[in-house]
Structure 1
Amino acid sequence: MKSNPVEWIFFDVGETLVDESAPIADIISQLIRAAGRRGIAVCERDIREAWMQAHERFSPFPMADILLRLFPDDALRQAIWKEMKYRKELDKPFPEAKSLLQSLSGSYRIGVIANQSAGTVHRLESYGLMEHIEAVFSSAETGLVKPDPRLYEHALQTTGCPACKALMVGDRIDNDIVPARQVGMHALWVRQGLALRQFSPSPSLQPSGTIPSIGEMARWLELWQPTDPTRAS
């Protein structure tokens, strides 16, 4: 029987366990309508492309970058921003997320490391995911925000897990993969969503593996041959 190379698996939330495509589409529609009310035509394709480019630049605030690109006038930009609201209630877990966590929890301890607003545990409970998760480290509750490596160090220290025995799973190279590798964790990139064109800034910070969707993770774990996470893979 293959021994587990890690003890803890930590997941990001948005676009990893939880599908954000509906609220993203909604806020893009809000932006188009807000611009249209001012006689400015913008299209969904251009907004999505600008969003992906912001991620490629590792922008900490992609929507702020998009608005600056589309609306150079500060007063106009601020007015449009005030009319927009990200509707988190439109989030929903990916169909495979619950069964994956249930399966993994038999062999691994499961945690979450995520940039989330207050109430992360409650939302995970509402998605039916929390019953398989032992520890949640959210930016709102810890006061530490990805990609700050201290959030990862805090999670490792609190759980008592050595970095080399931890795997981070997320959709962002900048927020998930790079800081996890910086502290010595393994890292699995779920290459989907608006950040799928990101790339690692150095060989030593490459992901330990890449999958196209969270549903492929169990198979990846079966085939994974881990190397020292402090070295380039």
Structure 2
Amino acid sequence: MIKDHIEWIFFDLGETLIDESAPISDSIRQFTEQAELLGYKYRSEQVQAALQEAYRHYAEHPMWSVMEAWIPSEEHRAKIKKGMTYHKHMERPFPSSLALLQTLSRRYRIGIIANQGPGTPTRLEAYGFSPYISVCCASAEAGMAKPDPQFFLMALDQAQCRPEHAVMIGDRLDNDVIPAKRLGMSAIWVRQGDARFQPLPARSEAPDAICDSIEQIAALFT
């Protein structure tokens, strides 16, 4: 079982502990509005379906992949991007996130490995997460990002933890599960958000456990 050899639990943030559905829906709205100003007419439902398809193909940045497929003009793509703003203040922790961290931190050390913009420590403090987190590696501050294995190794080094004694929990197979497994970590895939449409990888890189929501995670460690 996963819990038998684990000392550290590392979490992703977006669509794992943090609900990004509101700002993502807002970004889709912004895209359709900006595109229409340039003569491209798309419905939000079309964009949502295209994003899910982009995730199925392991697109690194699904929104930009959709934009490149639908907007042939590089100049127009640049204008659309310039007119879009990701509203991070719309993000909210999933209702059970704080309780999960409280529960797990009684027995395990908790870390964060996340692709995030500047200010992650401040946001974690605002969410009430900070008292339960011993290591926080966020891409903006670290100068590297997932799935770069060096990013994971940085977190493991800060934790003074061997890969086989750590588990990575995240919503993306490409950014969270696969790179962790390649390093010898355990991995749990949380099928939340559009990344739930990603196809499972080869068995050697497959998650050790799959959860449909973070509410199911605590049971894996009890």
Q: TM-score, normalised by structure 2?
A: 0.95
Instruction: Tell me which residue corresponds to 2:102.
Output: 102
Task: For residue 14 of structure 1, give the secondary structure of its aligned residue in structure 2.
Answer: coil
Query: Shift of residue 55 of structure 1?
Result: 1.7
The 5-angstrom pairing of residues 52-201 of structure 1 reads: 52-201=52-201
CA–CA separation in structure 1 for the residues paired with 2:11 and 2:95: 16
Instruction: Tell me which residue corresponds to 1:17.
Output: 17
Cα distance per residue 1:148-172 (max 9 Å; x no partner): 1111111112211111110100000
Cα distance per residue 1:28-58 (max 9 Å; x no partner): 0111111233343201121112112222222
Task: For residue 196 of structure 1, give the secondary structure of its aligned residue in structure 2.
Answer: helix
CA–CA separation in structure 1 for the residues paired with 2:141 and 2:13: 15
Runs (4+) off by over 3 Å: none
More RCO (CA 8 Å, sep 6+): 2
State the identity as a percent: 42
Q: Which has the higher helix share?
A: 2
Query: Shift of residue 143 of structure 1?
Result: 1.4
The 5-angstrom pairing of residues 15-54 of structure 1 reads: 15-54=15-54
Cα distance per residue 1:84-108 (max 9 Å; x no partner): 0111111110000000100111010
Equivalent pairs counted in the alignment come to: 221
Q: TM-score, normalised by structure 1?
A: 0.91
Does the CA-based 8 Å contact 2:135-2:158 persist in structure 1?
no
Which segments of 5 or more consecutive residues in structure 1 lack a partner in the other structure? 223-233
Cα distance per residue 1:51-82 (max 9 Å; x no partner): 12222222222121111122112222211111
CA–CA separation in structure 1 for the residues paired with 2:21 and 2:131: 24
CA–CA separation in structure 1 for the residues paired with 2:66 and 2:44: 12
Task: For residue 144 of structure 1, give the secondary structure of its aligned residue in structure 2.
Answer: coil
Letter in 1 for 2:74: D
